[in-house]
Amino acid sequence: MGAVSQSQGSKAVVAAMSANLAIAVLKLVAWAVTGAASLLAEAVHSVADSANQVVLMLGGRSARKQATADHPFGYGRERYISAFLVGIILFSMGGLFALYEAWHKFLEVRAGHPNALLQSRWWWVALVILAGSIVAEGLSFRTAWREAQAVRGQDSLPQFIRRSRSPELPVVLLEDSAALIGLTVALLGVTLTKLTGNGYFDVVGSGLIGALLVVVALIVAVEVKSLLLGESARPEAQAAIARAIQADPAITGLIHLKTLHLGPDSILVAAKIAVPETVAANDLSRVIDAAEARVRAVEPMVGPIYLEPDIWRQPPPAAAPVSPPPDATPTASPLPASPSPTATPPASPPPGVTPPASPASASHQPTVEPEV
């Protein structure tokens, strides 16, 4: 899968924000004239999505700031932080509010209060606006899908969302998918409520929308949390980097390779390379410079590179046990020799260490009286 550039993600974000702002206004108007709980839940959902697009754009702008002494690797992870905030907004402002509205509407229906949706003569406005919103969200989803098609390679949509190192497109795809499903649920809830005269269908629609948004928010938070913790480069990128490093015969091996995404468009590479023991310092410097150039040629997103030369020391292979020949006759082991009654002399001490005097020898030493 190719990298998702910030311009590609921004195009999908702007398209989603434009659709969500227009849809939010229409849904609020429809709710005002019909009182449908599903419409209010969807209106708040669209407002939350619009706020999310603003957060994503601000995060993208902050990520373009130059590196400083306090942040020597730049601000690329600002885009991850903004995507994590999207999950929080979607969970609280979208999902929890829809669930609250469903509970509030349920209490009204159970208490027998008048149902504004059933009594309103403008009920058809809700159906028209919901149908138009489905079309607008479908166009936004198509834009995001086309952007994802250009970079996802052979990955399916769930694989792309899980493996992408750029948060904008996966977030927009998840939001637009949730919006299309939520609008369909709201349309069914309003239609069934009007056809049957049963207000519980509207309650169920609002509750399902809230549950859907909570699930999507949790998916966004889990995926972005992994990016915030630090993910390595994609496996194909790591393989290309390893081949580029080892392309020089002067590098006799790659001891280990570590990669880390500093942001969606920047990868840190740290590797320990094996070189001959006799290589000169000036030759080693040229080898490392050439390896860095090859790495950047095969993976344009690579930023800082740290190559540490070392000597690859491998332990000698363990000797295999020698088996006796099959025709060998086992012989009886000799009896152990009897210990000699003579005491074994003590081992001589290491050089420079004076052994302590034994008690026996100390008793024969003359005592020196101090002079008075």
Q: What sign does the dihedral 148-151-154-159 (CA atoms) show?
A: negative
Q: How far apart are CA 311 and CA 255, in angstroms?
A: 9
Q: Containing domain of residue 286, as a range?
A: 235-310
Say if 42 falls within a structural domain. yes
At 269 the pLDDT is 96
Judgement on whether residues 46 and 121 belong to the same structural domain of the protein: yes
Q: Of 255, 285, 310, which residue constitutes the final position of a domain?
A: 310
Q: Same domain for 195 and 306?
A: no
Question: Do 98 and 118 share a domain, yes or no?
Answer: yes
pLDDT at position 24 is: 85
CA trace torsion 336, 337, 338, 341 (10° rounding): -140
Q: pLDDT under 70 in the chain at which residues? A: 1-12, 15, 314-372
Shared-domain flag, residues 72 and 146: yes
Q: What is the pLDDT of residue 7?
A: 52
| Residue-level pLDDT at 315 | 59
Q: Please report the pLDDT score of residue 291 as a whole number.
A: 95
Query: At 304, which CATH number?
Result: 3.30.70.1350
Question: What gap in Å lies between CA 192 and CA 188, rounded to an integer?
Answer: 6
Strands 253-263 and 266-274 turn out to be antiparallel
Give the pairing of strands 266-274 and 302-310: parallel
Q: Report pLDDT digits (tens) over 64-122.
A: 888 889 988 888 889 999 889 988 888 888 889 999 989 998 998 898 888 877 788 88
| Domain count within the chain | 2
CA–CA separation, 159 vs 153, rounded Å? 10
Same domain? For 130 and 208 the reply is: yes
Q: What pLDDT is stored for residue 316 in this prediction? A: 54
**Helix, strand or coil, per DSSP, at residue 266:** strand
User: How many CB atoms neighbour CB 143 within 10 A?
Assistant: 18
- pLDDT, tens only, 268-294: 999 999 999 888 989 999 999 999 999
* Residue 370, phi then psi, degrees to nearest 5: -70, 145
Q: How many whole angstroms separate alpha carbon 178 and alpha carbon 212?
A: 7
Q: 136 in a domain, yes or no?
A: yes
Domain boundary among 256, 284, 310: 310
The predicted pLDDT at position 242 comes to: 95
Written as six digits, the tokens of 273 are 């390379």
Q: Which of 289, 310, 331 is the last residue of a domain?
A: 310
From residue 121, how far is each of 117, 124, 194 by CA, in Å?
8, 8, 11
User: Do 295 and 211 reside in the same domain of the chain?
Assistant: no
